Structure 1
Amino acid sequence: MPGAARLPLAGLPFAVKGPTGIRSYAARRLIAAGGVPVGSTSVPGPGTYWQTWGLGAHGRTVNPWRPDRTPGGSSAGSAVAVAAGLVELATGSDGAGSVRIPAAWCGVFGLKTTNGLLPSPDRSGLAAAGVLARSAAHAQTYLRCVLDSCGPAAPAPLPLRAAYSPGLGYADVDPEVAAVVRGAVDRLSACGVIRLTAGGCDLLDPADTWQAVRSGEVPPPAEELRRENDRRLNAFFATTPLLLTPVTPNRPHGHEGPGELFSTALTWAFNLSGHPAASVPAGFTSDGCPVGLQLVAQRGADVSLLGTARAVEEALISVRS
């Protein structure tokens, strides 16, 4: 119709996480903005260990960079659909790292929104809506559409104060994964995107507390650990707007499963605390596995986090090229 306003997505194809994803709030908002859902993506089946790897009821989901490795999960198929070029964005949900881990291992952008910003059926409060996308710019479009009130992010003045914490004070990180992420951080510092502050942000290991919250029975020691980590994060973000870590302590494992490894070690802390967090491609290990750089910001700072992620992404791409 002549003169009709063009919808923000205007026919852009997108994928939804799992067979029920089409009914999610985010999917309905994307459709209202003109997006076209083209299919539902694979999700690890019931009983899969932490749902962080890609083996489901219909078999394995293959990492497009290394077919012998998992793409991560539980937003496994969404990450693969974006990485393989089938769609430019796909919906996801993140209760322990289920957007950020597959984004990191498939070499795409991933965002977990601030807990409670968008509707979630998870009664524990751990899971937040998220998106996997070809770039941070595509994720900005997603957020504008699902919030229906969010204009373009004003770029933060650069360099942005940031701290790098390789293991958050408790996680053992694969040395090559740590080296790839540290290299990305150093490049961002050298090209003026960030200004590294002294120190990092050490937290207490949230593993037992996350599991207690998930089970619905939270003993006093778990509550105390959660409060202490919240106190430390509040103190950190009072002076420093950006926290940088690896997304995972390990590289993608095989389809036989994760074994005793917790791929969630560096992600689920921010499901407990509620902070928004993103995964930006940082590079590759020597065996061809993608590695993700995690960006964490203050609660509710999703819009500015995406603006920062876009600057980070563009800087890393320009350095690599």
Structure 2
Amino acid sequence: MSARRTLLIAPPLAVVMLLGVLPLALVVIWSFWTWDPATYWIKPELSFAGYGAILDAGRWTVILSTIAKSFAAAIICTFLAYPLAYAIHIMSGPRMQMLLLALMTIPFFTSYLIRSFAWRLVLGRTGAVNETLQALHITSAPLDWLLFSNFAVMVGFIASYLPFAVFPLLLSMRRVPPELMAAARDLGAGFWRAFFTILAPLTYPGLFAGFLFVFVMVAGSSTEVQMLGGAGASIVSVMINDVMRVANYPLAFAISVVMLMTIFGMVLIGNAVFKLSGLFGEDAE
């Protein structure tokens, strides 16, 4: 690497190391420290008490539930994002693409709290969904499971994080030369055959990147669970907040490390299987 390239890379690399890598490294280190009740802080004495406490009081079930919710929301968002991204990319002109992308980003102009509360008004006993179902005589009474349930939480996740699955897919699709699909059709391949043999494999990096973005966002979310899941619902971010309130910092750091390792493992698997680095390489040929 030339000296000039090193100088160009050094400032952004320093920012990434300082603001990204260093805090995560400190979290990992502090997760092995000991909590000192005299100072209500941690001290540099090696201890696995934080990791051992994860197995107490059902905390591991919350971690597994968070991973399951994140996985389910990411799968559903990815499934919905593909036809949406394809329609935006192929079936609309530049102006329509800009309009559709703008409509997808407008909800982010408001807070997560407001958006989640809006779903309470839609899914509640006197909400729009129940009122419509009863007006059409589909149901004779309000459906209680529409709100304060896993269903409501999943609706909130999908509504909040679907765009994070769409944008990486659009990036991948724009890197696929349209001549490839046209050539396949000219050679006699039907739409679905051309789709599954050409477009889908070339967009796997964007597909998994979108899945990963949604997974990470859901795993770190708390608003949808607290607003739509009811009093008994929990997720890792809520559990960490509760643990921090009682000053059990090593446990909070240990829980964060477990989730960090889970996500890091998914990144490694995704890069090995779906070639995430292809998003930043040369265009498909």
TM-score band, normalised by shorter chain: under 0.3
Q: Structure 1-normalised TM-score?
A: 0.25
Which is richer in strand? 1
Indicate the structure (1 or 2) with the bigger Cα radius of gyration: 2
More helix by share: 2
Higher relative contact order (CA 8 A, sep 6+): 2
